[in-house]
Structure formats: C-alpha cells, structure tokens
Amino acid sequence: MAGAASALFLLDIKGRVLVWRDYRGDVSAVQAEKFFAKLSDKEGDPESQDPVICDSGVTYMFIQHNNVYLMIASRQNCNAASLLLFLHRVVDVFKHYFEELEEESLRDNFVVVYELLDEIMDFGYPQYTEAKILSEFIKTDAYRMELSQRPPMAVTNAVSWRSEGLHYKKNEVFLDVVESVNILVNSNGQIIRSEVVGALKMRTYLSGMPECKLGLNDRVLLEAQGRTTKGKSIDLDDIKFHQCVRLTRFENDRTISFIPPDGSFDLMTYRLSTQVKPLIWVEAQVERHSRSRIEFTIKARSQFKERSTATNVEIEFPVPADATNPNIRTSLGSASYVPENDALVWKIKSFPGGKEYMLRAEFRLPSVTSEESAPERKTPIRVKFEIPYFTVSGIQVRYLKIIEKSGYQALPWVRYITMAGEYELRLI
C-alpha cells in the first residue's frame, strides 16, 4: 500500500496556518513554517516551481487556489500524484459548501471545515470526496444530524458516489458531447498550435442503482469486434474517466460500463492533437491613410460543410488605443467599437457553412503623435462560436443502455456541440 499523508494544512497567502488536521501524529505545526520557507526560497526560480518539495525526511505536496495554499505533509514514501489529485477534490468539496474557496470562507466556516477534514481522510488515507454524498450528513444549516441518524449507505458502500433509494417519476439521461477547438495561427497563416479537447458531460435522473453501458465509434473497439472501421471510427487519445467507470472492463473490451452519480458530472474527457482545419477563418487588411485615418477590411469565412451552422459567432479585432469616430459596415451581423478593450467586436448570430462575410471599418487617429508613444500592442484576433450537432473528431455515441433491476425504461438524450476554445489568429 502506498504511504499515507501525515497532515493536511490550509494556509493563507503569507504562509500562516488557517486550519490543519493531524492524521498520524508524526508531524507538527512547525512543518507549515518549514514548507513556506522552502516555498519562498524557490519563488525566484521559475524552473523549480513544482508542486512537491522534500526537506529533512518530510515531503510537502501543495496546490494554490485563490489566496489559500492546500498542503499535505508526509513522512512516508507516498503517491504524490494521488495526493495532489486528492487536494483538487478537496477544493471541489469546499466550493460545493462555500461557493468559493478563499481565506474568508474558511474563517467563516471553521466548524464545517473541520468536520469535512475528518470525513474526507482517515489515518492519512483519502476516503470519499463526493460533495453530494458528504452534504447528506454534514450540514451547513443551523440543524445537525440527529444521533439516531446514520450516514448514507454510500459512505460505506463500494459505490461511494451514489446514494441508494433515489426515485424519479421520469427516468432520463442527458449526454452532451462537447468539443473545444484550440487553434493558434501566426501572421503568415500557418497553424502553429491545433488540438481538440472533448468531454462527455452527463446529467442523470435515474431511480435505484442503474447499470449504464456506453458505446462509441472507437477504432480499437470496432476492430476487436471484427467490424469495418473505414470512415466510421476515431482514435481516442489521453482519455480520462470519472471514478464511476470500471477501468478493468474498458481495458479488456473497451466497454464503458458504470453506475452513474446522481445529477451532473463529466463521464469522460479526451484530447486529440491532430491537425485541425480552422472552422472559421479570418483575414484582415489594415490601411493607414496618412496619420489621421486607419481603415480595416475583415473577411470571415466558414470552413465547414453547408449542412452545419455556427451560432453566436463573435470576432474580436484589435484597434489602436487612440482610435476614435468609428464608421462600421458589415454584410451580416452587427459590429461595435469597444473602447475599454481597444477592440472592434463583430457578432453574427447565425453563420452557415461554406459562406464568407465582410466588415469594413474606419477610425480617426490623432493628427499629432508623441515621439515617445508606447509601441503598438500585438493583440491577436480572437474568435468565439458554437456549432450544434457537429464534432470535429467525428465521435459518435453508438448506444447508451440503462439497466436497472426494477426494469423501468429510461429515456437517453444525446446532443453534440463544438465550440471555440483558445482560438486566436495573430496579425503580426
């Protein structure tokens, strides 16, 4: 078994201990001072900003969230990655209880914080960190759990993320396949960064303890079943699953089998680093007329099939900080000057595939410029959009089966959407 945590510390931005919980009795509050001293020594060296610090037989693992450091100290040879993941789950729990994790919310809720620290870890070993389950027996209201009341079965059950006895009049599952496209194009029109980050987001409203099985057009699975893969399958990379998924089953036959949590959760995330053709391409021409006037001609072209339509398209184009008196004309949509951002924002509600639209804008510039004026900023063009019923990767949900011992029929709803992530085109 991997080594356990000795204590968990919550510190403010100056290294002062706000709350700490000793789990094994082999460290003291002095460890927090030593940790922060080591952290301060490393602040000037960007190459040493790693989340693990070792000193005098003690390993410190930490993350920062807002103005709070969450730090675990251990004298054993522990699994650092596992405990760092645990700290991120602790952040999620506190955010569930206090809306946001920060120094003030900790100071205002010391009693609840200590109750949570007692439940999420036992003798240095992480226990259950599902906020919905914890909130069933650790209350933030004025009342407290009666002595005769027992904690939910999920606490001692193998399925720690779901309570028993759930009942809905209408059993439904909503599955959203959401892909974000991250693209960076240089001033020569070359793509220098391109990736797709996807997530299978679920909302489940199911009675009992249902068993769900999900099938995708995964190339490895289809080949193992002897099915044809030509043009109908994808290669999934960097897959991460929610803890409810049976990993052994997936490794054996690529079946995604799970008992889902109640409500909203991310079933799976993945990343594709393949070259992606920009879905919306933007070209810009900038003409300076003497020193008093500047003119922009912007072309936006949708590079996806005609049967798809992008919605809520927003193109943000940088303009000089001293520009005034805008005169803007567009072939579609509306455009406005946003002086606080030194930008021109072009909004198009509906942008069909295979179309091109144009914007022309003219600005006045001060006729007299300072010789010591600051150099012009190199802000890129930023694009936002959503394309429903479309995925870049071609991922498809082949089936979603819900099986429960009572035999009820559940309605699965599947929806696809692609959106812009970090989508930038450089001008210079």
84 neighbors 69 (Cβ within 8 angstroms): no
- By the 10 Å C-beta count (0-12 exposed, 13-18 middle, 19+ buried), 59 is classed as buried
CATH, domain 7-156, list 2.40.128.20, 2.40.128.30, 3.40.50.300, 3.30.450.60: 3.30.450.60
DSSP 8-class letter at 120: H
Whether the per-residue pLDDT at 428 is higher than 70: the answer is no
> Is the model's pLDDT at 154 over the cut of 80?
no
Q: Output the pLDDT for position 302.
A: 96
Highest mean pLDDT range out of 118-127, 176-185, 220-229? 176-185
Mean pLDDT value of segment 407-416: 92
pLDDT at residue number 381 = 94
Tell me the torsion sign for CA atoms 36, 38, 43, 49.
negative
pLDDT band for position 118 (50/70/90)? Answer: confident
The three-state secondary structure class of 368 is: coil
What is the rounded average pLDDT of the residues 302-313? 95
In this chain, the answer to whether the domains covering 7-156 and 172-276+392-425 adopt an identical fold is: no
**109: which residues sit within 8 A by CB, 6+ positions away?**
97, 98, 140
pLDDT band at 143 (very low <50, low <70, confident <90, very high): very low
The C-alpha angle 133, 138, 141, rounded to 5 degrees, equals 120
pLDDT at position 64 is 92
pLDDT average, residue stretch 357-364: 93
- Asked if pLDDT for residue 371 goes beyond 60, the answer is no
Q: What's the half-sphere exposure (Cβ side, CA atoms, 13 Å) at 144?
A: 4
- CA–CA separation, 138 and 31 (whole Å): 29
Distance CA 366, CA 291 (A): 7
Does residue 328 surpass a pLDDT of 50? Answer: yes
pLDDT of residue 40: 82
Q: Which two tokens stand for residue 310?
A: 């992008």
User: For residue 277, is pLDDT > 80?
Assistant: yes
Q: What backbone torsions phi and psi does residue 11 show, to the nearest 5 degrees?
A: -120, 155
Query: What's the pLDDT score for residue 287?
Result: 87
**Phi, psi dihedral angles at 48 (to 5 degrees):** -105, 15
More confident residue, 257 or 151: 257
Cα–Cα nearest to 337, from 357, 354, 323, 351: 323
Angstrom distance (rounded) from CA 120 to CA 127: 5
Q: What is the pLDDT of residue 135?
A: 75
Sign of CA dihedral 414, 85, 247, 118: negative
Q: What percent of the chain has pLDDT over 70?
A: 86
What is the chain's Cα-based Rg?
27
The CA-to-CA distance between both ends of the chain, in Å, stands at 55
Q: Look up residue 19 and give its two tokens.
A: 């709350």
Residue 378: pLDDT over 90: no
Give residue-wise pLDDT tens across range 8-53: 999 999 889 999 999 988 888 888 888 988 888 776 554 556 888 8
* pLDDT recorded at residue 223: 57
Q: Which CATH class is domain 172-276+392-425?
A: mainly beta
pLDDT, mean of residues 129-143: 68
- Residue 152 predicted with pLDDT over 60: no
Which tens digit of pLDDT belongs to each residue from 192-208?
989 999 999 999 999 99
What residues contact residue 290 under an 8 Å CB cut-off, 6+ apart?
A: none
Query: What Å distances lie between residue 274 and 180, 181, 410, 420, CA to CA?
Result: 13, 11, 36, 16
Predicted pLDDT at 145: 39
pTM comes to: 0.69
Neighbours of 155 (CB within 10 A): 17
Question: In terms of Cα–Cα distance, which of 226, 220, 207 is closest to 169?
Answer: 207
As beta bridge partners, residue 17 has: 11
pLDDT at 415: 95
Q: Is the pLDDT of residue 1 over 50?
A: no
Average pLDDT over residues 375-396: 86
Residue 324 has pLDDT above 90, yes or no: no
DSSP string computed for 15-78: S-EEEEEESSSS--THHHHHHHHHHHHHTT-GGG--SEEEETTEEEEEEEETTEEEEEEESS-B
Tokens linked to 377: 């900023």
Taking the CA of residue 35 as centre, how many other CA atoms within 13 Å lie in the half-sphere pointing to its CB? 32
Domain boundaries, the chain: 7-156, 172-276+392-425, 280-367+378-388
Query: What is residue 158's predicted lDDT score, i.e. its pLDDT?
Result: 60
| 182, 422 Cβ separation under 8 angstroms | yes
For the chain, the average pLDDT equals 84
Query: Looking at the domain 280-367+378-388, which fold is it?
Result: Immunoglobulin-like (2.60.40)
pLDDT score of 146: 41
pLDDT > 70? residue 227: no
Q: How would residue 144 be classed by pLDDT, with cut points 50, 70 and 90?
A: very low
* Share of residues in the chain with pLDDT > 90 (%): 44
Q: What is the pLDDT of residue 151?
A: 52
SS3 of 383, please?
strand
Model confidence at 120, in pLDDT bands (50, 70, 90)?
confident
User: Could you read off the pLDDT of 258-268 as tens digits, one per residue?
Assistant: 999 999 999 99
